[in-house]
Chains A and B, each alone.
Chain A
Amino acid sequence: MKTIQVSTTINGDATEFLCGPDESLLDVLRNRLGLTGVKEGCGTGDCGACSVTLDGRLVCSCLVLGAEAEGAQIGTVEGLAQGDRLHPLQQSFIDHAALQCGICTPGILVAAKALLDRNPDPTDTELRYWLAGNLCRCTGYDKIIHAVQAAARTMRETADAQG
């Protein structure tokens, strides 16, 4: 089977890779590019563990072909922290103990960031619907909701302070 050469941008960095025509973006990110923050859960778009952004839209990378990344902007959990400084969402998940086993966490962080980028002040209902495609079998979700809302407050305060 012929391989396809793809030029893309991942977390702001220009990246090139070769992939099979039927290879998912999830497999490319994990197996070819070493971005193992992207997790494989179900592989069928139900669990959200493999969530990334594709040109600013939240998607399941298991439902995207690697070849579709051509010319696109991809965002993964690895792009959240700035050097050693965790993103407010990451810090908040630690502070609120919003994870146990952690498999769902990268996907939830990417999904939550995608929401807060659009809507810095979501209601709990908006947040729960937005995250309905991110399954967590440990926490019971409550701590996740608290952690995201706390991070959203911090981010709003920082934005206000910067005027």
Chain B
Amino acid sequence: MLAAEPGVTRILTGGTDVMVQMRAGLAAPALVVDVKHLTGLRAITPEAGGYRIGAAVPGAVMGEHAGLRALWPGVVEGVELIGSTQVQGRATMAGNLCNGSPAADAVPGLVAADAVVRIMGVDGARDCPVIDIPAGPGRTTLAKGDIVTSIFLPARPARSGDAYLRFTPRSEMDIAVVSAAVSLTLGADGAVTAARVALGAVAPTVLLVDEAAQAIIGTRLDDAALAALAAACSAACRPIDDKRGTVAFRTQVAGVLARRAASIARDRAHSAGDAA
């Protein structure tokens, strides 16, 4: 149906971007398809030690899921930062990703988590790493007719943790000027054995910063390692200059947030290890 419509189309999950764009005249779709009622789209399902989150699951439902919060606290905190209570009742992680904003709050956490997006296209279902979806501000690599049906958050080893932080001028109801997500795993000796670091709002798309991960792998996140992580993050930034933040500010704060997120992720990894 979507692929056959020659005009502009929009898939609708929470509608918190679509409705605003329609009202502002930014989008005048000839066809809007509400996918919330497709089977399984509203469910959070345990799978292979991780969770499959249906594309129509709103933020509030993720926030109320104790098992999901325990396994991927950083992903959930990114999702929960989206808008107000009212917006949380509607907004989905899939919509956040597919809307294509470089400042989308759910996306860095998903990239750090190496989440996998399941897409139903005209030729059938396929899986795709989250990092391959964003293509630029307001653009994705999805083809017309592609519907994201779920996002899979994998199982993780013992002693793993993740965290997401953003900088906004106000504490609520604002759009990230810079954001950072870190996911890591510690060995029995407390040294980092695996890490992924993602930055939001500092480039046309979310960035996965390999150099930043390499800077902390093998360390116990001592000051020197954290400083190297921050430097690698700042070096990766290609931000815009606007009234919300200058290039210099975004570049510096990206490093600061990544450093703080890494420390929180480490503390969570320790407590996850204690609980296990």
A contact residues vs B (CB 8 Å cutoff):
21-22, 24, 43-46, 48, 51, 54, 57-60, 62-65, 67-68, 111, 114-115, 129-134
Partner of A133, one of B15, B32, B60, B83: B83
- Residues of B within 8 Å of A131, CB to CB, are 85
Which 9 residue pairs spanning A and B have beta carbons closest together? A133-B84, A57-B89, A132-B172, A63-B19, A60-B86, A59-B89, A133-B86, A44-B20, A58-B89
In the bound assembly, the distance between CA atoms of A64 and B16 in angstroms comes to 8
Q: In the complex the two chains form, is A68's CB within 8 Å of B34's CB?
A: yes
17 contacts between A and B (CB under 8 A): A24-B19, A44-B24, A45-B20, A48-B84, A57-B58, A59-B89, A59-B90, A60-B90, A63-B15, A63-B19, A64-B90, A65-B15, A68-B34, A131-B85, A133-B84, A133-B86, A134-B84
A6 to chain B minimum Cβ distance, whole angstroms, is 12
Known interface pairs A44-B20, A63-B15, A65-B15; A133-B87 also in contact (CB < 8 Å): yes
Q: In the complex the two chains form, is B34's CB within 8 Å of A48's CB?
A: no
19 extra interface residue pairs, beta carbon distance < 8 Å, beyond A44-B24, A59-B90, A60-B90: A24-B19, A24-B23, A44-B23, A46-B173, A57-B90, A60-B86, A63-B20, A63-B86, A64-B90, A65-B15, A65-B19, A68-B15, A111-B86, A115-B85, A130-B85, A131-B85, A133-B84, A133-B85, A133-B87
Partner of B86, one of A21, A45, A68, A129: A45
In the bound assembly, the distance between CA atoms of A60 and B66 in angstroms comes to 26
Partner of A132, one of B12, B23, B173: B173
Give a binary string over B18-50; 1 marks a CB under 8 Å from any A CB, 0 the rest: 011011100000001010100000000000000
Chain B residue, CB-CB nearest to A71: B37
B206 to chain A minimum Cβ distance, whole angstroms, is 23
B59 to chain A minimum Cβ distance, whole angstroms, is 11
Give a binary string over B153-195; 1 marks a CB under 8 Å from any A CB, 0 the rest: 0000000000000000000110000000000000000000000
B contact residues vs A (CB 8 Å cutoff):
12, 14-16, 19-20, 22-24, 32, 34, 36, 58, 60, 83-87, 89-90, 172-173
Chain B residue, CB-CB nearest to A110: B86
Partner of A129, one of B60, B90, B172: B172
In the bound assembly, the distance between CA atoms of A68 and B13 in angstroms comes to 11
Q: In the complex the two chains form, is B20's CB within 8 Å of A132's CB?
A: no
Q: In the complex the two chains form, is B84's CB within 8 Å of A132's CB?
A: yes
Known interface pairs A63-B15, A63-B19; A51-B172 also in contact (CB < 8 Å): no
Known interface pairs A22-B22, A44-B20, A132-B173; A64-B85 also in contact (CB < 8 Å): no
- Residues of A within 8 Å of B86, CB to CB, are 45, 48, 51, 58-60, 63, 111, 133
Chain A residue, CB-CB nearest to B173: A132
Partner of A57, one of B32, B60, B83: B60
- Residues of A within 8 Å of B58, CB to CB, are 57
- Residues of A within 8 Å of B20, CB to CB, are 44-45, 63
In the bound assembly, the distance between CA atoms of A96 and B16 in angstroms comes to 34
In the bound assembly, the distance between CA atoms of A33 and B260 in angstroms comes to 51
Q: In the complex the two chains form, is B60's CB within 8 Å of A22's CB?
A: no
- Residues of A within 8 Å of B60, CB to CB, are 57
In the bound assembly, the distance between CA atoms of A45 and B20 in angstroms comes to 8
In the bound assembly, the distance between CA atoms of A62 and B21 in angstroms comes to 12
Q: In the complex the two chains form, is B84's CB within 8 Å of A63's CB?
A: no
